[in-house]
Amino acid sequence: MQSRCLLLGLALLAGCLVDLPSAIAQREDAQRPNIVLIYIDDLGYGDLGVYGCQDIPTPHIDRLAAEGVRLTASHITNPPCCPSRCSLIMGQYAQRFGKYGMSRGLPIPEDRPTLARLLTDSGYSTGQIGKWDIGTRQQGPLQVGFTQVARTPPKASRPLGAANGKSKAKQKAEAQSKYFCLNEAGETVWLTDYDGDRMLEFIEQHREEPFFLYWSPEAVHSPSTEVPARLMDRTTAAGQRRRLAGNIVAVDDQIGKLLACLERLQLREKTLVVFSSDNGANGGEGGSSAPFTGGKGAGTQNEGWVRVPTILSRPGMLPQGTEYHGLVSNFDFYSTIAAHAGLQIPEHCDGVDLVPFLTSRSSETAHEYLFWLNNETGDAERRHLIAVRWRHWRLYRKYAADPWQLFNLQEDPAEDRNLAAERPELVQQLSDAHAAWAATLVPEGKIPQLPAGPPAVPSGHGWLQAE
């Protein structure tokens, strides 16, 4: 009898030991945070309520900041859209892999992990929704590490009244809508709303496991001519800005849906939300960089093109309703997310974990300097920029042969008073720092000539899964 009891006890113990690794893994998964990274297209520094905007209500984004940290000196070091996104996903200056301008179609490197690859390989479910614009057409989201990608919904026809005075030939050429799409039932819906519903789908599906979701909507990229009155009427914006305002309101609505979903699933305090923009405001759409000047299109040499609204929020982990004024770049998001997930930051990263700075655990600043070198051969000249940021100082010029211009952004955010002649020692300090950084970069990359093929994210409904 004693022998039988002993054998039974050993069998039970063996069963427990077999299940122990699984139990440990489940407990570790339960403790690992979720991450939602939201990257808006062309959202200006001055176009959100929490950044001083008065004519566009953004209560949900404002709430995100009230429950987190608002960054006041967050920058894009590789504008505009394509290089900005490549830098984001790689966690480093895009010049380190030869991207010195738009260079759409230049590969992202495969000898270092993307943010998605890093998280997927560590056990995260990783999802992507919306605009991609990264690497070659052969480097779609699934090819660079995401496990799940939302298909691009079919475009609807342009609605009546959206032509906005264009010629019949132009209207015919633009018969397909940018922002109206067809849902699964064949109904015409607003694309930003459709994307928001996909966000909730992904979170619901992965609620029991750690997930990383990257949403990069088409909004609020031009043109905003199609924005329906139901969105514009919720703002007090006037003129052309009224249409952009409606586009921003739609984005804010999705942040509200996201927060409500996280709260309903009791995931809010377990989820880090990072909210930012791929470059500064589009002045042609009425976008605002206030109190700074410049932006996309005209004024790309000014601060308003590269300074963007950024919010990090996770109640219970990050302080709420606070501000961080140190220099930050979009490549910091990679390092911050990696560290937040309990992973070692890869050696290739230029970014740092922002959490110690946002929580005042570090008395230093995230970066002493930030640098720009946009001088790609053949790129639009308006996008050429050589610049350095240090503390509240900004040194820049358009071409290497131009004289440096120096501005004190704290006293002169509009960059009206060039202080280069008055502070030659500071010009020397910052230009030397830029030269030392530039010496670490690789030559300009060459865009490969690839055969025609399907888009990185095919059209349709539902989700694509990694093999």
pLDDT one-digit tens code per residue, 67-88: 999 999 999 999 999 999 999 9
**Cα–Cα separations (whole angstroms), residue 94 to 349, 371, 434:** 11, 11, 16
In a domain, 173, yes or no: yes
C-alpha to C-alpha distance for 100 and 445, rounded to whole angstroms: 8
Task: Summarize the confidence of residues 324-333 as an average pLDDT.
Answer: 98
C-alpha to C-alpha distance for 407 and 392, rounded to whole angstroms: 8
pLDDT at 26 over 70: no
Query: What are residue 228's phi and psi, to 5 degrees?
Result: -70, 155
Q: How confident is the model at residue 24 (pLDDT cuts 50, 70, 90)?
A: very low
The answer to whether 105 and 447 have CB atoms below 8 angstroms apart is: yes
Q: Quick one: pLDDT at residue 174?
A: 61
99-132 pLDDT, tens digit each: 999 999 999 999 999 999 999 999 999 999 999 9
The answer to whether 336 and 312 have CB atoms below 8 angstroms apart is: yes
In a domain, 326, yes or no: yes
Q: Which of 389, 365, 386 is nearest to 376 (CA)?
A: 386
Task: Summarize the confidence of residues 249-270 as an average pLDDT.
Answer: 98
C-alpha to C-alpha distance for 246 and 238, rounded to whole angstroms: 11
What is the CATH number for 42?
3.40.720.10
Query: Among 4-13, 205-214, 247-256, 325-334, whose mean pLDDT is lowest?
Result: 4-13
Cα four-point dihedral sign 465, 137, 255, 350: positive
pLDDT at 327 over 80: yes
Q: Percent of the chain having pLDDT more than 70?
A: 90
pLDDT at 259 over 50: yes
Q: How confident is the model at residue 418 (pLDDT cuts 50, 70, 90)?
A: very high
3-state SS, residue 303? helix
In a domain, 420, yes or no: no
Query: Among 155-159, 210-214, 279-283, 420-424, whose mean pLDDT is lowest?
Result: 155-159
For residue 362 the two structure tokens come to 């570090």
In a domain, 428, yes or no: no
pLDDT at 89 over 80: yes
Q: Quick one: pLDDT at residue 154?
A: 96
pLDDT at 185 over 60: yes
C-alpha to C-alpha distance for 33 and 31, rounded to whole angstroms: 6
Task: Summarize the confidence of residues 384-411 as an average pLDDT.
Answer: 97
Task: Summarize the confidence of residues 432-453 as an average pLDDT.
Answer: 95
In a domain, 17, yes or no: no
Q: How many domains does the chain have?
A: 1
Q: Say how far residue 62 (Cα) sits from the centre of its chain.
A: 17
Q: Quick one: pLDDT at residue 162?
A: 52
Q: Quick one: pLDDT at residue 452?
A: 85
Task: Summarize the confidence of residues 452-458 as an average pLDDT.
Answer: 86
In a domain, 105, yes or no: yes
Q: How confident is the model at residue 455 (pLDDT cuts 50, 70, 90)?
A: confident
Cα four-point dihedral sign 111, 330, 254, 81: negative
Q: How confident is the model at residue 152 (pLDDT cuts 50, 70, 90)?
A: very high
Domain of residue 192 covers 29-367+446-465
Q: How confident is the model at residue 467 (pLDDT cuts 50, 70, 90)?
A: confident
The answer to whether 40 and 251 have CB atoms below 8 angstroms apart is: yes
pTM: 0.92
In a domain, 297, yes or no: yes
DSSP string over 211-224 = EEEEEE-STTPSP-
Task: Summarize the confidence of residues 331-341 as an average pLDDT.
Answer: 98
C-alpha to C-alpha distance for 95 and 98, rounded to whole angstroms: 5
C-alpha to C-alpha distance for 65 and 42, rounded to whole angstroms: 19
| More confident call, 389 vs 298 | 389
In a domain, 116, yes or no: yes
Q: How confident is the model at residue 8 (pLDDT cuts 50, 70, 90)?
A: low
Query: Among 12-21, 174-183, 397-406, whose mean pLDDT is lowest?
Result: 12-21
